[in-house]
Structures are given as C-alpha cells and as structure tokens.
A and B are shown apart, each in its own frame.
Chain A
Amino acid sequence: MFTYSFLQHYWWFIISLLAGILTFLLFIQGGQTMLFSLAKSEDERRLLVNVLGRKWEYTFTTLVTFGGAFFASFPLFYSTSFGGAYWVWMAILFCFIIQAVSYEFQSKPGNTYGKTTYLVFLFINGLLGTILIGAAVATFFTGSDFLVNKGNITNQLAPVISQWGNEWHGLEALLNLRNWALGLAVFFLSRTSASLFFINRLNNENLEKRSRKAVLVNALPFLVFFLTFVIWTLLAEGFAVNPETGEVYMEKYKYFFNLIQMPVVLVLFLLGVVAVLWGIGGTILNEKFKKGIWFTGVGTILAVCSLLLLAGYNNTAYYPATPDLQSSLTIFNSSSSEFTLNAMTIVSVLIPFVLAYIFYAWRSMEKKRADIADINSDDHAY
C-alpha cells in the first residue's frame, strides 16, 4: 500500500507528534511544582490539586503510549535507549509511579504518610519528570555513549546487541549543558503552561492574579533556555546520514540546513513558536485574556513536533552514538518491518476517533470554570 520509506517517515511523525502532545500535557507536572507556592490556603491548594487531578491521567497515558508506539515502530531505539540509559529512564519512571497514587491517596484517611508526603511526590514528579524528559530528548541532538552490534546475538556468552559505553548508564547526559538547557526549558515551559491553564480553568480571583504573575516569572527563563538550546543546536554539528551508503558523519549546521531544506517543518516550527509567544504575551498584556493555554498548548505541540522532525528527517541520525557514529540509529535502520508498520498504520486511523471522544468528554465535563464550592460539593474530590 505504502512504501517502506513512507511508513518510516509516517511513524517518525507520529512519534514526534506524541512527543509534542506529551510536552504540552506536562503542564500538569508544572502545576504540581506550584502547589506550595501559588496556593496560600488549604482551600486554594485543594482547588489546584483537583483541577490538575481531572487531567493527570492524560499526561501519564500519553507517556505510556509514547513508549509503546516507540517500541512498536522503532524497537531498536526502545531496546538501546531504555536498556542503556537505564538510570535516566528508571528515574523518570519512579517519578511517575509516585505521581500515580498521589492524587487519589493524598486526602484519604488512612493514607499512612500524610498529605504533605503526597504533595511532595507531586512536586518531585513535576520537577524531575520535566527536566529529565527534556534532557533525554536533547540527547537526540547531542548523542549518547553506546554501540550496536547485531552480530553479538551469536555470541553465546554475551549475546546482547546494544551495549552502553559507561557505568553511568545515561546519567552522564547531565554533564552536557545543552541537555540541561532543554531540560530546564521544558521545566519552565510546563510551569508557564500550568499558569495559563489555571487562568483558563479557575474561577478564583486571587489564584488568577498570582497565576498571571507566574506566567511572566516562568516564561522568561523558559525563553532563555529554549533559545539557548535552539540556537546552539542550529549552529552545532549534526549527525548526517549518507542516503546512498547509510554512513553517518558529522556535518556543520546540519539542523539549520534541515530547517531550511524542509520548509514545511520550518513553517510549523515558526508557527509553533509564535503561538507559544502569543499565548504568553496575550496573557501578560491583556488582563481579560484567558485563552493563552490554547495558543501556547498548540504552539508547544507544533514546535516540539517540528524539533523532532529535524532530528529524524532529511537523512539525519535521530539517536546518535558518539563513540561509533555507525552505531547511530536512523529511522531506517531502527524501524520495525514494513509489515508491522503497515499494520500499525491501519490502527493509527483510529487516533482521530480517540481524540474526538476525549474532546467530547472534556467538553461535557467542563461547562464552567471550577471554584472551591464546586470541589467541596463533589464527593469524589481529592
């Protein structure tokens, strides 16, 4: 039906899109880091916990789906990165494990460790989850320390195909400042988006006022770190692939060229950045403007999606191996078979249907903004 190359590109697009949606939904995590600072009373905190608590599962589910889709479409990435950068992924997973119980448990009698413990769990999830995911994605541009040798499978004493180059198993990514730049950009973006979300969702003057202030306070460092990462990456050497031989080599300004050579991606990226800024700027400049989250949210999806397209399209290795460039993963050498990608593509036709019922469900649940009285009258409120 489709060519193999088309399917590989299609699935890289789906992965990029999921990464974009995930980054947008990290506003939940951002909000979790503001529970102590933004709320000044128990009631206010309860309100924040509850509006976030109606949505947290979407972020969680998107993360799990992101993992599943990556496994199904690019299994060599899944095996190499998860098995190699063990400690980074484990840290991310632990952050999300503690999140999953915290909403439900924090206000229930008998929760054993007290409410504050669960709120701290949420804080940790927000802080580490965002920074680590950002840093992990940055390694798509900065490279990682691994080797892939499929011939190892016939070695009966050490049959493992992918081997990590050091004992830090991924934590060494934190020695790279560019990884930190993206990690911190994601962290501050998530807090900015959370502030915009609160402004949109809450019917509470005080919290809205403080959220508006928080937009400015978080948007500035976000912009600094984001621009640092983007400019640094566009000016840096990139991991290019020779389409004839499949050989990977370093190319100056590779990602900048990718942007120029793929005008659609360029337009998407610029649209995304403008929309993010529009949402932020509009909220800061206009006190009545409450729809910032929609602009910034859609902008985040577009910008992150196009960043990942830069990493994987146009003959680029998306998961570069620094000790041996030829071990680097490309969308061609790491993907599933044509048959599997085809089967998965048929399943992906259902994605718009899934999005439609999510949208419908949200609409029917959120006819008005939430306030404290609302939460107090709900017998399942957290």
Chain B
Amino acid sequence: MELLDVSLVSWSRAQFSLTAMYHWIFVPLTLGLGVIQAIMETIYYRTGDEKWKQVTKFWMTLFGVNFAIGVATGIILEFQFGTNWSNYSWFVGDIFGAPLAIEGILAFFMEATFISIMFFGWNKVSKGFHLASTWLTIFGATLSAFWILVANAWMQHPVGMEFNPDTVRNEMVDFWAILSPFAWNKFFHTVWSSWIVGALFTLGVSAWFLIKKRDIDFAKKSIKVAATFGLVASLLTAITGDGSAYTVAQEQPMKLAAMEGLYQGQEGAELVAIGILNDEKKAYNDTVNPFLFKIGIPKALSFLAYRDLNAFVPGVKDIIDGGYQTKDGLTLSFDEKQVKGKAALNALANYKEAKKENDSAKASLHKDTLMANYEYFGYGYLNKAEDTIPDVPMVFYSFHIMVTLGMYFILLFGIFTFLSFKNEIVLEKSKLLLWAALLSIPLGYIASQLGWLVAEFGRQPWAIQDVLPLKASISAISTQSVQITFFMFLILFTALLIAEIRIMLKQIKNGPHHN
C-alpha cells in the first residue's frame, strides 16, 4: 500500500478552500438579494404600483446571473467529499450524508421549480402565485443552506453518533441531537450575515444611480428596502455572532484562543478590541508576548465565553498542558489525549484481529478499551502538541476584521435607514455617503469570507473535532492529480467570475428601464 504524501493533504485542502471560497462569493448574495427582491415584490403585490414591479425585476435579473454561477460552483462541493475526502465520507457518511440528501430532496427541487416560475412566469401565472414562487425560491435556497450548515456544524461539534468498530465508522443514533444549538447558531449567523451582503450590494448599486443622478426614484425605493433590511440583518448577525462565540468557547476552546491570540489563560480575561500580533512568538510555551500592541476590553472575553466576568478562559498553552477546571471536570493534556488516541487506534486494530480469529472474549476486551478512549480517537494520528494549534494570525486577524466590519455595517445601515425615511434630500446630495455605500459592497464579501476562515482555519487540524484529523480524511490519489484539478478549477472559476462581473456591470449600467 502506498504511503500518503503530506503535500496531498495540503493540496486537497487547497482545492476544497478554493472551491468553497469561490462558491461563497455567490451564495451570500443569493441569500440576501433573494429576500430583498421578495420584499420588493410583496410591496408591488400590496400596492399594485408598477414602479415596484420594475424595481423587483431589475434586482431579479442580477439575482439570476449570480444564481447561475452559484449553482455552477456548488455542484463540486457536494461531490468533493467523495472525490477528495473519501475516508472522511466513509468514516462519518452515516451522519454527514443524510443532511446532504435531505438538502437535495427538499431544498434544491424547491429552488429549481419556483425559480423558473419567478423568472418566466410573470405573464403566465397569477400575481399571487408569482409572489409565492419568489418567496419559495429564496425559502428553498435558505433551506439548502440550513442543511449544509447543519452538516458543517456537526463536523465542528460531533454529536448524536456512536462508533461502530465492526463497520469502522460513526453511526447516527440521534437525529435531533445533530440539530444542536451549535448548528442553529451557525445557520442564523451565516444566513443573517449573508443578508448583509445582499443589502450592501443593493444599497451600493442604488447609491451609484444617485451618484450618476439617474433613475432617482428607483434608487431611493431600493435604498429604503436595502437599508432597513440591512440594519435588521446586521443587528441580528451581531446577536448570533455572540451566540457563535459562546458555543465555540464551550466546544472548541482552541479556536477561541486562536481568535483572541490568547496563549496564557486568564480569569476575567479581556477581549482584544485592536491588536497587532508579535511575529517573534515562535512557540506556544515560550515567554514572548504574543502582542506588539493591543487595546482590550477588561473581562469581556470571560463574559462572552462563559457569561461570567471572572470566568477562566484557557489559552493555547493551557489547552495543551491541560489540568484546568471546566464544567466537565479537569481537562487532559495533549500528551494524555494522544496516549488515549493511540490506545483507541491500537484497540481497534486488535479488535479486528481478534474478530478474524473468532476470539470473542479478546474482541470484547479490546472493544472496551476502544470505547473508553474513543473520545480522543483522532489524537492517535497526531505527532506533536503543535499539530493541534491552528494558524493563530490567520484566525485572529480574520476574526477581528470581521467584527470591526460588522460594527461598521450597523452604523452604515443605521445612517441610511434614518436618512431614507427622514431626510431624502440629504441622502441624495451627500456624495460622501453615497460613495461610502458603493465602496462598501466588497466589504460585505470580505467579512463573509473572513467568517468562514475563522470557522475553518480555527478548527485545524480537525476534519471532525477530536475524532478525525484532515490527514486521515483524504482519498488515496496522487498529489499531481489534485494539483491538476486545483488549477482547472482555478482557471475555470476565475474565467466564469470575470464573465459574471462583466454581465452584472452591463446590466447595472443598462438600469431598470432596460427591462
């Protein structure tokens, strides 16, 4: 049997990141703009004002262009679990596959069916049926996001399963447990933050019309919806962001430590508001200060993580050294976890051997050892403590930039909501504000991508937290094959993205009257 090349893991990761990040350029806009256009059509339905129909149709055209490329980049994500992470697919397919199948059956068909009516049914079905189709399209899209986010949350916080040594995989024992608070938080945080992307896009494009002094009425109508919707979305995102940090603190303390650049745990820990990390920090247990500069909010991290101003928040070193108290008792050190992980792996090998020899007494003994240590199964594959530390600068900066942008969005939407209802004249004339709105479009995308970087880089080295590291999740293919497909995706997706952006720009320049 050929040994797996370390670079294969890196390239498989790179390909997954590339395709997922590309896909995620388009999904948030779909989720956000989908709701915005449905709200606009609802206003049209209720008022009968043809101008609102025109507004709706303009945004719908942009939605359609974006949706198509979202579909194109999405198909690979479903199949990539099999093509590049085949071991993972077997090891947890019993749990992970179900949400994907449900996504296909319940969500994708809903999207596919009603999007067709939404685009082509204006003159073919009644106004009410059309409106329902527009809502069902975005409901279907959101439902599909729900199932895939449930699956992702499960990887971060595996619950509702039991390891079966005979089949050598984890098997589902409780479907409802999979819909954990972790999953719900992830879903709402992701979807509501996607609404921000949609709102920023709508706001920014509308601001461009005002800057150009054209389609003024259309632009003002769009801004009203986008700003209000964006304000609601950004406040909801902040609330679920807090919820996400709380659940991460409970289930993935290492990720939280990386998010905050916290190496040495503290009681009453401060939350870093602004900070610059120190490059000289080379080892988790050296005495170098991890920060060159920082301003913190006293005790805020303890409160955020444990709802207690004086709670102890473990740092990277504490998590590796173990021995601190949690609600589940004293924590184990990395070394202890590794011993348990290796014991579990050996016990599984011995169990299989005993089964082959039909020695049931021996088999049962090994099974007991395996199950007693299974919680740390994944540590058996790791070589050293450092393997469990994610890329701290990447996670730290991603997290802090994302949060800062989130605050800025609340402010931006707040101002625009106020002006669009209270003082339209100022809104129309204030070039600075309008440019700020236009230039904020990419910031929404950046914040959204950074959120995923925090979530995914923050859980390294795990594919499934504590149970399966990435290196034990891959398919046995040559690194070269993955390199080839990586570049094929890079070229194809980039080419499609260029076309998409150019089409969008043309459509926007044409404006609502072109429709």
Where the two chains meet, the residues of A that have a C-beta atom closer than 8 Å to any C-beta of B are: 54, 57-58, 60-61, 63-69, 71-73, 75-76, 78-84, 86-87, 89-90, 93-94, 96-101, 103-105, 108-113, 150-164, 167, 169, 336-337, 339-340, 343-344, 347-348, 350-351, 354, 357-358, 361, 364-365, 367, 377-381
A111 CA / B488 CA spacing, docked (Å): 20
Q: Does B404 contact A (CB under 8 A)?
A: no
A111 and B503 in contact, given A82-B79, A160-B86, A367-B124 (Cβ under 8 angstroms)? yes
A163 CA / B485 CA spacing, docked (Å): 19
Q: Which of A67, A157, A163, A337 contacts B79 (CB 8 A)?
A: A67
Residues A340 and B87 in contact, CB atoms below 8 Å apart: no
Residues B505 and A110 in contact, CB atoms below 8 Å apart: yes
Residues A344 and B101 in contact, CB atoms below 8 Å apart: yes
Q: Which of B104, B381, B485, B495 contacts A159 (CB 8 A)?
A: B381
A155 CA / B243 CA spacing, docked (Å): 39
Closest B residue, CB atoms, query A162: B86
* B-side contacts of A156, CB under 8 Å: 345, 380-381
Residues A68 and B103 in contact, CB atoms below 8 Å apart: yes
Q: Does B173 contact A (CB under 8 A)?
A: yes
* B-side contacts of A68, CB under 8 Å: 78, 97, 100-105
What are 5 A-B contacts defined by CB distance under 8 Å? A57-B71, A75-B89, A83-B85, A105-B503, A158-B4
Q: Does B113 contact A (CB under 8 A)?
A: yes
Q: Does B502 contact A (CB under 8 A)?
A: yes
* B-side contacts of A86, CB under 8 Å: 83, 475, 477, 481
Closest B residue, CB atoms, query A339: B172
Q: Does B73 contact A (CB under 8 A)?
A: yes
* A-side contacts of B474, CB under 8 Å: 160
Q: Which of B85, B93, B120, B172 contacts A54 (CB 8 A)?
A: B120
**Total of A-B residue pairs, C-beta within 8 Å:** 301
Identify 6 new A-B residue pairs, CB closer than 8 A, beyond the known A153-B87, A365-B125.
A68-B101, A84-B86, A111-B499, A167-B478, A357-B113, A380-B60
Encoded as 1 (CB less than 8 Å from any A CB) or 0, chain B from 79 to 96 comes to: 101111111111101111
- Residue in A76, A153, A167 whose Cβ sees the most chain B Cβ within 10 Å: A153
A64 CA / B122 CA spacing, docked (Å): 28
With both chains docked as a complex, state the minimum distance between the C-beta of B79 and any C-beta of chain A, in angstroms. 6
A82 and B86 in contact, given A160-B4, A336-B93, A340-B172 (Cβ under 8 angstroms)? yes
With both chains docked as a complex, state the minimum distance between the C-beta of A351 and any C-beta of chain B, in angstroms. 6
With an 8 Å Cβ cutoff, the count of chain B residues facing the other chain is 101
Encoded as 1 (CB less than 8 Å from any A CB) or 0, chain B from 162 to 181 comes to: 00100111011101000000
Residues A351 and B105 in contact, CB atoms below 8 Å apart: yes
With both chains docked as a complex, state the minimum distance between the C-beta of B62 and any C-beta of chain A, in angstroms. 11
With both chains docked as a complex, state the minimum distance between the C-beta of B61 and any C-beta of chain A, in angstroms. 7
Closest B residue, CB atoms, query A351: B105
Complex interface: stretch among B305-313, B323-331, B346-354, B428-436: B346-354
Q: Does B472 contact A (CB under 8 A)?
A: yes
Residues A57 and B101 in contact, CB atoms below 8 Å apart: no
* A-side contacts of B57, CB under 8 Å: 379
Closest A residue, CB atoms, query B505: A110
Residues A108 and B506 in contact, CB atoms below 8 Å apart: yes
A78 CA / B93 CA spacing, docked (Å): 9
Residues B116 and A361 in contact, CB atoms below 8 Å apart: yes
A89 CA / B69 CA spacing, docked (Å): 20
* A-side contacts of B515, CB under 8 Å: 379
Q: Which of B1, B78, B117, B352 contacts A64 (CB 8 A)?
A: B78
Closest B residue, CB atoms, query A163: B476
| A-B interface, 6 closest residue pairs, ranked by CB to CB distance from nearest | A83-B86, A75-B93, A82-B82, A65-B104, A83-B475, A72-B97
Residues B105 and A358 in contact, CB atoms below 8 Å apart: no
* A-side contacts of B475, CB under 8 Å: 79, 82-84, 86, 160, 162
A365 and B498 in contact, given A72-B97, A90-B485, A343-B175 (Cβ under 8 angstroms)? no
Residues A60 and B75 in contact, CB atoms below 8 Å apart: yes
